[in-house]
Chains A and B, each alone.
Chain A
Amino acid sequence: MNPTQACIRVHNWVLNVDDRRHRGGHGRSPSALLSGNQVLGMAKSNTTDAKALIRSLRSAYAATPISLKIIDLYVVYAITTAVIQVVYMGIVGSFPFNSFLSGVLSCVGTAVLAVCLRIQVNKENKEFKDLPPERAFADFVLCNLVLHLVIMNFLG
């Protein structure tokens, strides 16, 4: 089974749709070699698809309310900090391993908690429409307090 056929199987699982449309010239004759034109056409369609995708993602994301965007920015900041710490550990070595662990896990932890807050505060989530946002924020603060208490203890 070539990779494209594997992709299509996963594709169908995600969408629950019996989709038989392929990209470019694949699938019609799996064992036939692709001509140069066909490969070029496939690459071009892929890049145009990618551009269209990015454009639609951007436009859809621009529609989200600004409070959620702030939370997303915080998540991105936390993850970046975690990545920086991992790179630093790669350079310097992991000697006080507990410090490294607590640093990375605190970043990952606040990112996860911020995502949970975003889920609870998002007005489009039908499951949480009864939850007042103040309660969600209070839970977020409490969980962060516990997380940072543990981090301070583990930091060494």
Chain B
Amino acid sequence: MAASSETKGEGTLRKAFGGVLGFFILLLIGAFAFSIRLFSVIKYESVIHEFDPYFNYRVTQFLTKNGIYDFWNWFDDRTWYPLGRVIGGTVYPGLTLTAGSIWWLLNNLNIPLSVETVCVFTAPIFSANASWATYLLTKEVKGTGAGLTAAALLAMVPSYISRSVAGSYDNEAVAIFALIFTFYLYIKTLNTGSLFYATLNALSYFYMVCSWGGYTFIINLIPMHVLLCIVTGRYSPRLYIAYAPLVVLGTLLASLVPVVGFNAVMTSEHFASFLVFIIIHVVALVYYIKGILSPKMFKVAVTLVVTIGIAVCCAVLAILIALVASSPTKGWSGRSLSLLDPTYASKYIPIIASVSEHQPPTWPSYFMDINVLAFLVPAGIVACFLPLSDASSFMVLYITTSVYFSGVMVRLMLVLAPAACIMSGIALSEAFDVFTRSIKLQLPKLFESPSGSGDIDSTQDEVVKVDNKSATDKSETAPKERPSKKNRKKEREIVETTIKKPLNAKRLLVLPLEASSVAILLLIIFGAFYVVHCVWAAAEAYSAPSIVLTSHSHDGLHVFDDFREAYAWLRHNTDVDDKVASWWDYGYQTTAMANRTVIVDNNTWNNTHIATVGTAMSSPEKPAWEIFNSLDVKYVLVVFGGLVGYPSDDINKFLWMVRIGGGVFPHIREPDYLRDGQYRIDAHATPTMLNCLMYKLSYYRFVETDGKGFDRVRRTEIGKKHFKLTHFEEVFTTHHWMVRIYKLKSPKNRIRGKSKKSKSNSKTGPSNSKRHSNLRKNPW
């Protein structure tokens, strides 16, 4: 008796020790996830990156200054002039509300952080939360060891780092956390059948809908999984409890968010959930009736019901198909269609096709973004099948669908990252299982000392007593202090609870001692490569704020701060109500930093408006001036990289302007700007190209820099070197000529002529005809 209680005491002590160790490991993982994302703050400064985050930052500023009611009802007149934008109804409020509440909480605790600091550091905080959520999710699927491994992998995976560095204040920063947490709660409900977790699941889904448009992935994946469970015969009451309340509560909560509104019940993205809702009720009814009737009566019931049921089903299906087919896109939104059919966007929606993030990824980008995990994922998929449970079938479905979608758009590699980490975590922990088990079982034979073997026998016996899961139990709560402690990261495998083995006594795999020790060594080196790659990617590849550029020259580090210089000039040297026109890439930054009204911005919701600006940039000076004048524009901003070799400037984007403009105004034709199908700006360029506004505004006075006008990006000398601007005047060019600001000249008061009287009569004639001809040529 004393011996058994003693061994039980030691067992609980070991479990407690494992629990505490696991807690500290999780804490360290969180701290690691936070700190690996701080490279840009250290190398540059605590600044918001890119373009979209500036909009979110501006919205958060408004929220903190004016309160939530004004934010909810905000109509923004500083953008998309003269249309304006309903911010309350078109923005996903999750991110801004999260950052706003963190700021409000901290300020009420008398920690006076500025809004910008909170915005910059929101993403790293939520990435730590995401790794903890990954731990919880993988623990539900496989166990604690796999959970810790998956959490560690997610903390570092480069694809997630790329969208959540400190300063990247974008929707995905909180959305990935919400995604993983929702999946965790769904699996938890599925495993326990508790309605409490179902409620929490619905609330977490609500948070996901608030945060990101990618919530449609959840509301299609979960019904797919339910259908899979039903079809493979795994229907259980827990499945019903996990799914049915989620659909009802989830649809209601999704309709509460103004961006989604009634789309939650009317667009095709949600129909899958309703369909599976009906199917699961039918299946539940069938199982219930089967339970209360005798088998003979049940067969009778089936025959009768099926004859009637099929007829009704066909009728309903016919109605549904007619309804859906009547809409041209079959009820799907453009963005969703471009995901399902990768060629859709390039054919119909050039704006979506023009964004570089929406291009399909190349093979090297898989290796760059998920590195070593690409090799571990297939092993994880196999491990999920041994044994197959509801949760592991869900994981297999998740990884398959996310691999498909990541192949459509580079941006969706982000959704692949958590799935890949979980699969790899499962694979790694299973592999470590086998190897350490082999070593542990064969090490006593190596030592061959009686006292040593006695100790080991007792520990083995105690392990058998503590975990009474299977007859031939040689499970892994046994101390793993024996394997080498070279890499502290691998100590996580020490705290593994028993994997759910089948109760029939299965012969466990034991490999030779040398092979398993070499294999463990190789796995540790493998992991080390992964860590090194992730830290390198975080430091070098994904930490550029893209609003400040640097280059290394022979005399040290050179910093290009031209963008902020230009916006600051605009802020201090123009009137508050002046309108600034530029290509849509710079809209958010202009409204946020320069605080001026813009014509088009990154939201790209109005294609015609963008096409108007594109047409203006592609037209000669006078028509362009007329277009801009009709929009009350005062200043035009262009980005030019020819002096310093900055490749993402407006001349490189110019063909997209032509295409988008030409899509709406047919007098702009792309072949007019190409010489023999080639896009050039040198002496052989077409006259349309050399006369268009974009060329003139980019290269005005460029020849004065080096006497020859050599464009470093296009690597040629420019075609037209000496020209004057008639309708625009240059007001500011930044230090490295990267941003150039021009002002529209006001129309002349007098028109030069010999005599006013005779000219006035004849003036109206030709000017009228000119106006008419202008009308015929272009609608302005």
Contact = CB atoms under 8 A, between A and B. Distances in A.
A26 to B, nearest CB: 11
A147 B238 CA distance: 20
Interface stretch (A33-41, A84-92, A102-110): A102-110
Given A60-B292, A105-B251, A14 B301 contact: no
Contacts of B251: 105
B683 interface: no
Interface in B276-325: 284, 286, 289, 291-295, 297-304, 306-307, 310
Interface in B214-255: 236-238, 240-241, 244-245, 248-249, 251-253, 255
Interface stretch (B193-201, B570-578, B653-661, B692-700): B193-201
A49 B300 contact: yes
A153 interface: yes
B203 interface: yes
B202 interface: yes
Interface in A99-117: 101-102, 105, 108-109, 112-113, 115-117
A20 to B, nearest CB: 12
Contact of A15 (B256, B292, B293, B299): B299
Contact of A46 (B194, B238, B240, B304): B304
A136 B192 CA distance: 12
Given A49-B304, A154-B252, A139 B293 contact: no
Contact of B245 (A3, A4, A11, A113): A113
A70 interface: no
Nearest to A60: B292
B241 A119 contact: yes
Interface in B354-384: none
A129 to B, nearest CB: 12
A52 B300 contact: yes
A83 interface: no
B265 interface: yes
Interface string A7-46: 1001100110001000100000000000000000000001
A6 interface: yes
A56 interface: yes
A10 to B, nearest CB: 5
A123 B411 CA distance: 50
Contacts of B298: 15
Contact of A56 (B245, B297, B303, B310): B297
A60 B293 CA distance: 7
A101 to B, nearest CB: 6
A77 interface: no
A134 interface: no
B303 A7 contact: yes
B302 A128 contact: no
B252 A150 contact: yes
Contact of B310 (A6, A63, A113, A139): A6
B237 A119 contact: yes
B646 interface: no
A57 B300 CA distance: 11
B262 interface: yes
Contact of B199 (A53, A120, A146, A153): A146
A98 interface: yes
Chain A CB within 10 Å, residue with most, of B193, B265, B284, B286: B193
Given A50-B304, A52-B300, A136-B195, A146 B202 contact: yes
A154 B252 CA distance: 8
Which of B198, B284, B291, B306 has the largest number of chain A CB atoms within 10 A? B306
Given A14-B286, A146-B249, A153-B256, A140 B299 contact: no
A119 B240 contact: yes
A32 B292 CA distance: 38
Contacts of B304: 46, 49-50, 53
A113 B302 contact: no
A19 B293 CA distance: 18
B311 to A, nearest CB: 8
A1 to B, nearest CB: 12
Contacts of A146: 199, 202-203, 249
Contact of B193 (A50, A60, A97, A128): A128
Interface in B41-85: none
B293 A56 contact: yes
Contact of A151 (B237, B245, B252, B294): B252
Interface string A57-94: 10011011000000000000000000000000000000
Given A119-B237, A127-B193, A112 B293 contact: no
Contacts of A10: 302, 306, 310
A10 B236 CA distance: 21
A140 B289 CA distance: 24
A3 B309 CA distance: 12
A102 B307 contact: no
Contacts of A19: 299
A113 B196 CA distance: 11
Interface string A138-151: 01101100110011
A33 to B, nearest CB: 19
A150 B256 contact: yes
Contacts of B255: 98, 101, 154
Contact of A127 (B237, B245, B303): B237
A109 B245 contact: yes
Contact of A147 (B240, B249, B300, B310): B249
24 contacts: A6-B310, A7-B306, A11-B299, A14-B286, A15-B299, A52-B297, A53-B300, A56-B294, A105-B251, A108-B248, A112-B244, A112-B245, A113-B195, A115-B284, A116-B240, A116-B244, A117-B195, A120-B193, A140-B195, A142-B196, A142-B199, A143-B195, A150-B252, A154-B252
Given A4-B307, A146-B249, A150-B256, 18 more contacts: A6-B310, A7-B303, A10-B306, A15-B302, A49-B300, A49-B304, A53-B297, A60-B293, A116-B195, A116-B244, A131-B193, A139-B196, A143-B196, A143-B249, A146-B202, A147-B248, A150-B252, A151-B252
Instruction: Give the 6 A-B residue pairs with the shortest CB-CB distance, closest first.
Output: A139-B195, A60-B292, A109-B248, A119-B237, A56-B297, A112-B244
Interface of B: 193-196, 198-199, 202-203, 236-238, 240-241, 244-245, 248-249, 251-253, 255-256, 262, 265, 284, 286, 289, 291-295, 297-304, 306-307, 310
